[in-house]
Amino acid sequence: MPARVGGRKSRTKWVFALALVVVLGAAAGVAVVKPGPVDEWLSSAEPSSRPTPAPTTPDPSPTPVLVAASGGGTPLTASSVTKAIDPLVKSAAMGTKVHAAVLDVATGDVLYARNADAMTTPASTTKLLTAAAVLDARGPSHRLTTRVVAGVQPGEVVLIGGGDPTLATTKNKLFPGAARLDLLAAQVKKSLGGAEPTRLLYDTSLFSGPETAKGWDPSDISFGQVSRIQALMVNAGRIRPIHNEFGGDPRSPDPAGAAAKAFAKMLGVPSSAVRKGKAPTKAAGPSSAPATVDVTPGQELGAVQSPPMVQLTDWMLEQSDNTAAEALGRQVAIADGKPGTFDDTTEAIAGRMRDLGLPADEANLYDASGLSRNNGISPTMLTRLLSLAASGEQPALSSIFGGLPVAGWSGTMLKRFVSPKPNQGGQGVVRAKTGTLSGVNTMAGTLTTADGRLLVFAIMASGSANAVTGRAALDAVAAKLVSCGCP
Protein backbone atom coordinates (compact mmCIF):
# COMPACT_ATOMS: atom_id res chain seq x y z
CA MET A 1 0.00 0.00 0.00
CA PRO A 2 1.28 3.53 -0.65
CA ALA A 3 2.29 5.53 2.37
CA ARG A 4 1.18 8.99 3.38
CA VAL A 5 2.80 11.41 5.73
CA GLY A 6 1.39 13.96 8.04
CA GLY A 7 1.71 15.85 11.29
CA ARG A 8 1.53 19.17 13.00
CA LYS A 9 2.74 22.61 11.99
CA SER A 10 5.90 24.07 13.49
CA ARG A 11 7.70 27.40 13.32
CA THR A 12 11.46 27.83 13.32
CA LYS A 13 13.33 30.35 15.43
CA TRP A 14 16.88 29.87 14.24
CA VAL A 15 17.95 29.32 10.68
CA PHE A 16 21.06 28.42 8.77
CA ALA A 17 22.34 30.44 5.78
CA LEU A 18 24.51 29.04 3.04
CA ALA A 19 28.20 29.27 3.70
CA LEU A 20 28.64 30.47 0.16
CA VAL A 21 27.06 33.74 1.23
CA VAL A 22 30.31 35.22 2.45
CA VAL A 23 28.73 38.40 3.76
CA LEU A 24 26.78 36.44 6.37
CA GLY A 25 29.86 34.62 7.53
CA ALA A 26 31.78 37.85 7.87
CA ALA A 27 28.97 39.53 9.76
CA ALA A 28 28.74 36.66 12.22
CA GLY A 29 32.49 36.47 12.68
CA VAL A 30 32.43 32.79 11.80
CA ALA A 31 35.03 30.99 9.70
CA VAL A 32 33.18 29.57 6.74
CA VAL A 33 34.37 26.49 4.88
CA LYS A 34 33.48 26.31 1.21
CA PRO A 35 31.86 22.98 0.40
CA GLY A 36 33.37 20.73 -2.22
CA PRO A 37 32.19 17.89 -4.43
CA VAL A 38 31.59 14.54 -2.82
CA ASP A 39 34.68 13.00 -4.36
CA GLU A 40 36.76 15.51 -2.42
CA TRP A 41 34.88 15.08 0.86
CA LEU A 42 35.35 11.33 1.09
CA SER A 43 38.78 10.10 2.00
CA SER A 44 40.38 7.95 -0.68
CA ALA A 45 42.77 6.43 1.83
CA GLU A 46 42.57 2.67 2.00
CA PRO A 47 40.68 1.32 5.02
CA SER A 48 42.50 -0.64 7.67
CA SER A 49 42.62 -4.40 7.30
CA ARG A 50 40.11 -4.84 10.10
CA PRO A 51 37.14 -2.54 10.57
CA THR A 52 36.70 -0.61 13.78
CA PRO A 53 33.28 -0.43 15.42
CA ALA A 54 31.21 2.47 14.14
CA PRO A 55 30.94 5.22 16.77
CA THR A 56 27.49 5.66 18.19
CA THR A 57 28.09 8.86 20.13
CA PRO A 58 28.65 11.63 19.60
CA ASP A 59 27.34 12.05 16.08
CA PRO A 60 29.56 14.21 13.87
CA SER A 61 28.85 17.92 13.66
CA PRO A 62 26.86 18.99 10.60
CA THR A 63 28.97 19.37 7.46
CA PRO A 64 30.45 22.92 7.48
CA VAL A 65 28.31 24.35 4.74
CA LEU A 66 25.97 26.38 6.90
CA VAL A 67 26.47 29.19 9.38
CA ALA A 68 24.05 30.24 12.09
CA ALA A 69 21.93 33.30 11.38
CA SER A 70 18.77 34.81 12.82
CA GLY A 71 16.86 36.26 9.93
CA GLY A 72 19.40 38.59 8.36
CA GLY A 73 18.40 40.93 5.59
CA THR A 74 15.13 42.70 4.97
CA PRO A 75 12.02 40.52 5.14
CA LEU A 76 10.23 40.04 1.84
CA THR A 77 6.52 40.49 1.34
CA ALA A 78 4.27 37.95 -0.31
CA SER A 79 2.82 40.53 -2.69
CA SER A 80 6.22 41.63 -3.97
CA VAL A 81 7.47 38.05 -4.38
CA THR A 82 4.33 37.16 -6.29
CA LYS A 83 4.78 40.17 -8.55
CA ALA A 84 8.40 39.19 -9.21
CA ILE A 85 8.07 35.50 -9.99
CA ASP A 86 4.45 34.87 -10.98
CA PRO A 87 5.04 35.72 -14.66
CA LEU A 88 7.95 33.26 -14.73
CA VAL A 89 5.96 30.52 -13.02
CA LYS A 90 3.19 30.97 -15.58
CA SER A 91 5.50 30.90 -18.60
CA ALA A 92 4.72 28.37 -21.32
CA ALA A 93 8.23 26.95 -21.10
CA MET A 94 7.52 25.79 -17.56
CA GLY A 95 4.82 23.35 -18.67
CA THR A 96 1.09 22.89 -18.45
CA LYS A 97 0.91 22.51 -14.66
CA VAL A 98 3.07 24.11 -11.99
CA HIS A 99 3.11 23.61 -8.23
CA ALA A 100 5.31 25.98 -6.24
CA ALA A 101 5.99 27.32 -2.76
CA VAL A 102 8.47 29.82 -1.31
CA LEU A 103 9.03 30.12 2.44
CA ASP A 104 10.95 32.62 4.56
CA VAL A 105 12.85 30.41 6.97
CA ALA A 106 13.29 33.02 9.73
CA THR A 107 9.61 33.90 10.00
CA GLY A 108 7.98 30.79 8.60
CA ASP A 109 5.90 33.03 6.34
CA VAL A 110 4.74 31.64 3.02
CA LEU A 111 5.81 34.18 0.41
CA TYR A 112 4.44 32.39 -2.63
CA ALA A 113 2.06 29.50 -3.15
CA ARG A 114 0.65 28.00 -6.32
CA ASN A 115 -1.04 24.61 -5.96
CA ALA A 116 1.30 24.36 -2.98
CA ASP A 117 -0.66 21.83 -0.94
CA ALA A 118 -1.52 19.57 -3.87
CA MET A 119 0.64 16.51 -4.52
CA THR A 120 2.35 16.20 -7.87
CA THR A 121 5.09 14.04 -9.40
CA PRO A 122 8.24 14.89 -7.42
CA ALA A 123 10.86 12.97 -9.45
CA SER A 124 14.18 13.00 -7.59
CA THR A 125 13.16 15.62 -5.03
CA THR A 126 11.78 12.50 -3.33
CA LYS A 127 15.37 11.89 -2.25
CA LEU A 128 15.11 14.79 0.20
CA LEU A 129 12.57 12.79 2.22
CA THR A 130 14.73 9.67 1.98
CA ALA A 131 17.87 11.48 3.15
CA ALA A 132 16.09 13.14 6.04
CA ALA A 133 14.45 9.88 7.11
CA VAL A 134 17.61 7.77 7.07
CA LEU A 135 19.65 10.43 8.87
CA ASP A 136 16.90 10.64 11.48
CA ALA A 137 16.67 6.85 11.76
CA ARG A 138 20.35 5.92 11.72
CA GLY A 139 22.25 9.09 12.54
CA PRO A 140 25.03 10.71 10.49
CA SER A 141 27.79 8.44 11.83
CA HIS A 142 26.15 5.06 11.14
CA ARG A 143 28.05 2.71 8.81
CA LEU A 144 26.82 -0.25 6.78
CA THR A 145 28.76 -3.49 7.28
CA THR A 146 29.44 -6.26 4.77
CA ARG A 147 30.52 -9.45 6.56
CA VAL A 148 31.86 -12.91 5.85
CA VAL A 149 31.28 -15.81 8.24
CA ALA A 150 32.22 -19.46 8.21
CA GLY A 151 29.65 -21.78 6.69
CA VAL A 152 28.41 -25.13 7.96
CA GLN A 153 30.06 -27.29 5.29
CA PRO A 154 33.82 -27.89 5.12
CA GLY A 155 35.57 -25.10 3.20
CA GLU A 156 32.39 -23.03 3.00
CA VAL A 157 32.29 -19.27 3.61
CA VAL A 158 29.25 -16.98 3.49
CA LEU A 159 29.22 -13.39 2.19
CA ILE A 160 26.46 -11.43 3.93
CA GLY A 161 25.04 -8.36 2.19
CA GLY A 162 24.64 -5.42 4.55
CA GLY A 163 22.75 -3.19 2.15
CA ASP A 164 25.78 -1.05 1.29
CA PRO A 165 25.21 0.30 -2.25
CA THR A 166 28.68 1.86 -2.38
CA LEU A 167 30.58 -1.38 -1.80
CA ALA A 168 33.39 -1.68 -4.37
CA THR A 169 35.50 -4.52 -5.69
CA THR A 170 38.73 -2.52 -5.61
CA LYS A 171 39.71 1.11 -5.27
CA ASN A 172 37.92 3.33 -7.79
CA LYS A 173 36.70 6.89 -8.24
CA LEU A 174 32.97 6.23 -8.21
CA PHE A 175 32.63 6.02 -4.42
CA PRO A 176 35.95 7.23 -2.94
CA GLY A 177 36.58 5.70 0.47
CA ALA A 178 34.07 2.90 -0.07
CA ALA A 179 34.32 -0.51 1.59
CA ARG A 180 36.08 -2.99 -0.72
CA LEU A 181 35.81 -6.67 -1.50
CA ASP A 182 39.53 -7.08 -2.14
CA LEU A 183 40.29 -5.95 1.42
CA LEU A 184 37.54 -8.21 2.73
CA ALA A 185 39.04 -11.16 0.86
CA ALA A 186 42.40 -10.46 2.45
CA GLN A 187 40.80 -10.59 5.90
CA VAL A 188 39.11 -13.90 5.13
CA LYS A 189 42.33 -15.49 3.90
CA LYS A 190 44.12 -14.38 7.04
CA SER A 191 41.34 -15.72 9.27
CA LEU A 192 41.46 -19.10 7.52
CA GLY A 193 45.16 -19.39 8.22
CA GLY A 194 46.12 -20.54 4.76
CA ALA A 195 43.26 -23.01 4.28
CA GLU A 196 41.63 -22.65 0.87
CA PRO A 197 37.86 -22.03 0.80
CA THR A 198 36.10 -24.23 -1.72
CA ARG A 199 32.52 -22.96 -1.67
CA LEU A 200 30.90 -19.51 -1.35
CA LEU A 201 27.35 -18.76 -0.32
CA TYR A 202 25.94 -15.25 -0.47
CA ASP A 203 23.15 -14.06 1.83
CA THR A 204 20.85 -11.24 0.64
CA SER A 205 18.10 -11.74 3.22
CA LEU A 206 18.42 -8.22 4.66
CA PHE A 207 16.18 -7.02 1.82
CA SER A 208 13.05 -8.85 0.68
CA GLY A 209 10.05 -8.50 -1.60
CA PRO A 210 10.04 -7.21 -5.19
CA GLU A 211 13.31 -5.88 -6.57
CA THR A 212 11.66 -3.13 -8.65
CA ALA A 213 9.00 -0.61 -7.64
CA LYS A 214 5.51 0.10 -8.92
CA GLY A 215 5.63 2.98 -11.36
CA TRP A 216 9.13 2.29 -12.68
CA ASP A 217 9.50 2.31 -16.44
CA PRO A 218 10.68 -1.05 -17.85
CA SER A 219 13.62 0.77 -19.44
CA ASP A 220 14.89 2.22 -16.15
CA ILE A 221 17.17 -0.76 -15.51
CA SER A 222 18.14 -1.46 -19.12
CA PHE A 223 18.94 2.21 -19.66
CA GLY A 224 21.03 2.28 -16.50
CA GLN A 225 18.94 4.61 -14.33
CA VAL A 226 18.76 2.11 -11.48
CA SER A 227 19.57 -1.50 -10.62
CA ARG A 228 17.50 -4.25 -9.09
CA ILE A 229 17.42 -3.55 -5.38
CA GLN A 230 19.32 -6.25 -3.50
CA ALA A 231 21.18 -6.25 -0.19
CA LEU A 232 24.48 -7.15 -1.86
CA MET A 233 25.93 -5.27 -4.81
CA VAL A 234 29.06 -3.44 -5.91
CA ASN A 235 29.11 0.07 -7.35
CA ALA A 236 25.34 0.38 -6.86
CA GLY A 237 24.75 -2.51 -9.23
CA ARG A 238 26.83 -1.11 -12.07
CA ILE A 239 28.85 -3.36 -14.32
CA ARG A 240 31.57 -0.71 -14.43
CA PRO A 241 32.19 2.04 -11.82
CA ILE A 242 30.91 5.01 -13.82
CA HIS A 243 28.11 7.51 -13.26
CA ASN A 244 26.09 9.53 -15.76
CA GLU A 245 23.34 11.88 -14.63
CA PHE A 246 20.80 10.75 -17.21
CA GLY A 247 21.46 7.03 -17.28
CA GLY A 248 23.79 5.05 -19.47
CA ASP A 249 25.41 3.21 -16.55
CA PRO A 250 25.07 -0.49 -17.53
CA ARG A 251 23.66 -2.56 -14.65
CA SER A 252 24.06 -6.20 -13.81
CA PRO A 253 20.87 -8.24 -14.20
CA ASP A 254 21.74 -9.86 -10.84
CA PRO A 255 23.83 -7.43 -8.74
CA ALA A 256 24.19 -9.79 -5.77
CA GLY A 257 25.30 -12.72 -7.90
CA ALA A 258 27.80 -10.54 -9.75
CA ALA A 259 29.28 -9.25 -6.48
CA ALA A 260 29.51 -12.78 -5.09
CA LYS A 261 31.30 -14.10 -8.16
CA ALA A 262 33.76 -11.21 -8.06
CA PHE A 263 34.46 -12.01 -4.41
CA ALA A 264 34.77 -15.72 -5.11
CA LYS A 265 37.42 -15.02 -7.74
CA MET A 266 39.43 -13.09 -5.15
CA LEU A 267 39.24 -16.10 -2.81
CA GLY A 268 40.12 -18.60 -5.51
CA VAL A 269 36.67 -20.20 -5.42
CA PRO A 270 35.32 -21.23 -8.86
CA SER A 271 32.11 -19.53 -10.02
CA SER A 272 30.50 -22.98 -10.22
CA ALA A 273 30.83 -23.18 -6.42
CA VAL A 274 28.94 -19.92 -5.77
CA ARG A 275 25.37 -20.27 -4.50
CA LYS A 276 22.75 -18.08 -2.88
CA GLY A 277 22.06 -19.18 0.70
CA LYS A 278 21.67 -18.22 4.34
CA ALA A 279 24.37 -17.51 6.85
CA PRO A 280 24.44 -19.84 9.86
CA THR A 281 24.30 -18.61 13.40
CA LYS A 282 27.01 -19.44 15.88
CA ALA A 283 24.60 -21.97 17.36
CA ALA A 284 24.54 -23.98 14.16
CA GLY A 285 26.63 -26.76 15.66
CA PRO A 286 30.24 -27.88 15.25
CA SER A 287 31.95 -27.61 11.89
CA SER A 288 33.12 -30.69 10.04
CA ALA A 289 35.88 -28.63 8.40
CA PRO A 290 39.45 -29.89 8.49
CA ALA A 291 41.32 -29.34 11.73
CA THR A 292 43.63 -26.83 10.04
CA VAL A 293 40.68 -24.41 9.84
CA ASP A 294 39.99 -23.40 13.42
CA VAL A 295 36.56 -21.86 12.86
CA THR A 296 33.00 -22.66 13.83
CA PRO A 297 29.85 -22.09 11.75
CA GLY A 298 28.78 -18.47 11.91
CA GLN A 299 32.16 -17.26 13.11
CA GLU A 300 33.10 -13.92 11.55
CA LEU A 301 36.03 -14.16 9.16
CA GLY A 302 36.07 -10.53 8.02
CA ALA A 303 34.08 -7.32 7.78
CA VAL A 304 34.31 -4.00 5.95
CA GLN A 305 32.31 -0.85 6.60
CA SER A 306 30.92 1.88 4.41
CA PRO A 307 31.71 5.56 4.91
CA PRO A 308 29.45 7.27 7.50
CA MET A 309 25.78 7.68 6.60
CA VAL A 310 26.16 11.44 6.16
CA GLN A 311 28.64 10.81 3.34
CA LEU A 312 26.38 8.19 1.76
CA THR A 313 23.48 10.66 1.72
CA ASP A 314 25.80 13.36 0.37
CA TRP A 315 26.62 11.17 -2.63
CA MET A 316 23.03 10.09 -3.10
CA LEU A 317 21.79 13.69 -3.17
CA GLU A 318 24.60 15.30 -5.13
CA GLN A 319 24.70 12.70 -7.90
CA SER A 320 21.03 11.71 -7.62
CA ASP A 321 21.93 8.03 -7.42
CA ASN A 322 18.65 6.11 -7.57
CA THR A 323 20.03 2.75 -6.42
CA ALA A 324 21.74 4.38 -3.45
CA ALA A 325 18.47 6.08 -2.53
CA GLU A 326 16.57 2.78 -2.55
CA ALA A 327 19.24 1.00 -0.50
CA LEU A 328 19.41 3.82 2.06
CA GLY A 329 15.63 3.94 2.20
CA ARG A 330 15.64 0.28 3.26
CA GLN A 331 17.69 1.30 6.29
CA VAL A 332 14.77 3.38 7.56
CA ALA A 333 12.50 0.34 7.55
CA ILE A 334 15.15 -1.92 9.10
CA ALA A 335 15.86 0.63 11.84
CA ASP A 336 12.15 0.50 12.67
CA GLY A 337 12.24 -3.29 12.89
CA LYS A 338 10.43 -3.81 9.58
CA PRO A 339 11.41 -5.95 6.58
CA GLY A 340 13.45 -4.32 3.85
CA THR A 341 10.74 -4.14 1.18
CA PHE A 342 9.50 -1.25 -0.97
CA ASP A 343 6.23 -1.02 0.96
CA ASP A 344 7.89 -1.14 4.36
CA THR A 345 10.44 1.42 3.23
CA THR A 346 7.87 3.96 2.06
CA GLU A 347 5.77 3.42 5.18
CA ALA A 348 8.83 3.90 7.38
CA ILE A 349 9.85 7.09 5.58
CA ALA A 350 6.27 8.32 5.97
CA GLY A 351 6.36 7.54 9.67
CA ARG A 352 9.58 9.49 10.15
CA MET A 353 8.13 12.51 8.36
CA ARG A 354 5.00 12.33 10.45
CA ASP A 355 6.97 12.11 13.68
CA LEU A 356 8.94 15.18 12.63
CA GLY A 357 5.70 17.16 12.50
CA LEU A 358 5.52 17.56 8.74
CA PRO A 359 2.23 18.07 6.83
CA ALA A 360 -0.43 15.38 6.77
CA ASP A 361 -1.47 13.70 3.54
CA GLU A 362 0.99 15.60 1.35
CA ALA A 363 3.29 12.77 0.35
CA ASN A 364 2.37 9.47 -1.26
CA LEU A 365 5.37 7.24 -1.93
CA TYR A 366 5.98 4.07 -3.92
CA ASP A 367 9.77 4.24 -3.85
CA ALA A 368 12.61 6.12 -2.15
CA SER A 369 14.33 7.50 -5.25
CA GLY A 370 11.59 9.29 -7.16
CA LEU A 371 11.73 7.11 -10.27
CA SER A 372 8.15 5.98 -9.73
CA ARG A 373 5.60 8.10 -11.53
CA ASN A 374 3.08 7.00 -8.91
CA ASN A 375 4.78 9.15 -6.27
CA GLY A 376 3.18 12.41 -5.18
CA ILE A 377 4.64 15.12 -2.94
CA SER A 378 3.48 18.72 -2.43
CA PRO A 379 5.69 21.81 -2.51
CA THR A 380 4.54 22.57 1.03
CA MET A 381 5.86 19.22 2.21
CA LEU A 382 9.27 19.90 0.67
CA THR A 383 9.58 23.48 1.91
CA ARG A 384 8.49 22.54 5.42
CA LEU A 385 11.08 19.75 5.48
CA LEU A 386 13.83 22.08 4.27
CA SER A 387 12.81 24.73 6.78
CA LEU A 388 12.91 22.21 9.62
CA ALA A 389 16.33 20.99 8.52
CA ALA A 390 17.60 24.58 8.41
CA SER A 391 16.22 25.41 11.84
CA GLY A 392 18.73 23.33 13.79
CA GLU A 393 15.93 21.78 15.83
CA GLN A 394 16.83 18.36 14.41
CA PRO A 395 20.66 18.35 14.11
CA ALA A 396 20.81 15.14 12.06
CA LEU A 397 18.56 16.65 9.39
CA SER A 398 20.83 19.65 8.86
CA SER A 399 23.31 17.22 7.31
CA ILE A 400 21.22 17.08 4.13
CA PHE A 401 22.50 20.48 3.04
CA GLY A 402 26.03 19.15 2.60
CA GLY A 403 24.84 16.96 -0.27
CA LEU A 404 22.65 19.44 -2.10
CA PRO A 405 24.23 20.42 -5.44
CA VAL A 406 25.29 24.05 -5.87
CA ALA A 407 24.11 25.91 -8.96
CA GLY A 408 26.79 26.08 -11.63
CA TRP A 409 29.29 24.29 -9.45
CA SER A 410 28.58 20.70 -8.37
CA GLY A 411 26.59 17.53 -8.91
CA THR A 412 23.42 17.64 -10.96
CA MET A 413 23.53 21.46 -10.82
CA LEU A 414 26.97 21.71 -12.41
CA LYS A 415 25.62 22.80 -15.78
CA ARG A 416 22.52 24.58 -14.56
CA PHE A 417 21.94 28.35 -14.33
CA VAL A 418 24.02 29.00 -17.45
CA SER A 419 21.54 30.42 -19.96
CA PRO A 420 19.82 32.70 -20.51
CA LYS A 421 22.25 35.15 -18.91
CA PRO A 422 19.91 36.38 -16.11
CA ASN A 423 19.89 32.83 -14.71
CA GLN A 424 23.60 33.10 -13.96
CA GLY A 425 22.75 35.22 -10.92
CA GLY A 426 21.84 31.98 -9.15
CA GLN A 427 25.26 30.39 -9.59
CA GLY A 428 26.95 29.65 -6.28
CA VAL A 429 23.88 30.82 -4.36
CA VAL A 430 21.13 28.31 -5.13
CA ARG A 431 21.61 24.92 -3.47
CA ALA A 432 18.94 22.43 -4.46
CA LYS A 433 17.87 18.91 -5.31
CA THR A 434 16.69 18.61 -8.87
CA GLY A 435 14.37 16.05 -10.41
CA THR A 436 13.74 15.04 -14.01
CA LEU A 437 11.40 12.55 -15.64
CA SER A 438 9.94 12.70 -19.12
CA GLY A 439 7.76 15.82 -19.10
CA VAL A 440 8.53 16.53 -15.44
CA ASN A 441 11.05 19.04 -14.01
CA THR A 442 11.36 19.77 -10.30
CA MET A 443 13.68 21.60 -7.95
CA ALA A 444 13.65 22.13 -4.18
CA GLY A 445 16.27 23.76 -2.02
CA THR A 446 17.61 26.92 -0.45
CA LEU A 447 18.84 30.29 -1.64
CA THR A 448 19.86 33.60 -0.14
CA THR A 449 18.56 36.83 -1.63
CA ALA A 450 20.83 39.69 -2.57
CA ASP A 451 19.75 41.32 0.69
CA GLY A 452 20.80 38.30 2.73
CA ARG A 453 17.42 36.67 3.38
CA LEU A 454 17.33 32.85 3.53
CA LEU A 455 14.47 31.26 1.59
CA VAL A 456 13.48 27.68 0.89
CA PHE A 457 11.55 26.86 -2.25
CA ALA A 458 10.03 24.03 -4.24
CA ILE A 459 9.06 24.32 -7.90
CA MET A 460 7.45 21.31 -9.55
CA ALA A 461 6.37 21.48 -13.19
CA SER A 462 4.85 18.95 -15.54
CA GLY A 463 3.79 18.94 -19.17
CA SER A 464 6.92 20.59 -20.50
CA ALA A 465 7.52 19.84 -24.18
CA ASN A 466 11.27 20.40 -23.93
CA ALA A 467 13.41 19.25 -21.00
CA VAL A 468 16.18 21.80 -21.60
CA THR A 469 13.93 24.85 -21.79
CA GLY A 470 11.80 23.45 -18.96
CA ARG A 471 14.78 23.24 -16.63
CA ALA A 472 15.93 26.71 -17.65
CA ALA A 473 12.47 28.02 -16.79
CA LEU A 474 12.79 26.59 -13.28
CA ASP A 475 16.24 28.12 -12.94
CA ALA A 476 14.81 31.50 -13.93
CA VAL A 477 12.41 31.48 -10.99
CA ALA A 478 15.14 30.70 -8.46
CA ALA A 479 17.52 33.25 -10.02
CA LYS A 480 14.81 35.91 -9.81
CA LEU A 481 14.39 35.18 -6.10
CA VAL A 482 18.13 35.58 -5.60
CA SER A 483 18.07 39.08 -7.10
CA CYS A 484 14.73 40.03 -5.56
CA GLY A 485 14.62 42.82 -2.98
CA CYS A 486 10.84 42.42 -2.88
CA PRO A 487 10.07 44.74 0.07
Pair 62, 398: CB distance under 8 Å: yes
Q: Catalytic pick from 127, 189, 433, 480?
A: 127
Q: Which residues contact 211 (CB under 8 A, 6 or more apart)?
A: 228, 229, 230
CB atoms under 10 Å from CB of 283, counted, come to 8
Strands (E), 3-76: 3-4, 15-18, 66-69
Tell me which DSSP letter residue 116 carries: T
Catalytic residue among 287, 306, 320, 372: 320
Q: Please tell me the distance from the alpha carbon of residue 449 to that of residue 50, in angstroms, as a whole number.
A: 48
Q: How far is CA 154 from CA 150, 198, 288, 298, 408, in A?
A: 9, 8, 6, 13, 57
The torsion angles phi and psi of 456, rounded to 5 degrees, stand at -115, 150
147 vs 305: CA distance, rounded Å? 9
| Amino acid (one-letter) located at 349 | I
* Residues 6+ away with beta carbon under 8 Å from 290: 154, 155, 195
Backbone φ, ψ for residue 422 (5° rounding): -60, -25
The SS3 assignment for 311 reads helix
320 labelled catalytic: yes
d(CA 300, CA 158): 9
As beta bridge partners, residue 113 has 101
Whether 350 and 365 have beta carbons less than 8 Å apart is answered as yes
Residue 127 designated active-site:
yes
Question: End-to-end distance of the chain based on CA atoms, in angstroms?
Answer: 46
Query: Of all residues in the chain, what percent are helix, strand and coil, respectively (each to 5)?
Result: 35, 20, 50
- Could you tell me if residue 73 is left (phi over 0), alpha (psi between -120 and 50 degrees) or otherwise beta? left
Number of alpha carbons in the 13 Å side-chain half-sphere of residue 162: 19
Tell me which residues are annotated as active site.
124, 127, 320
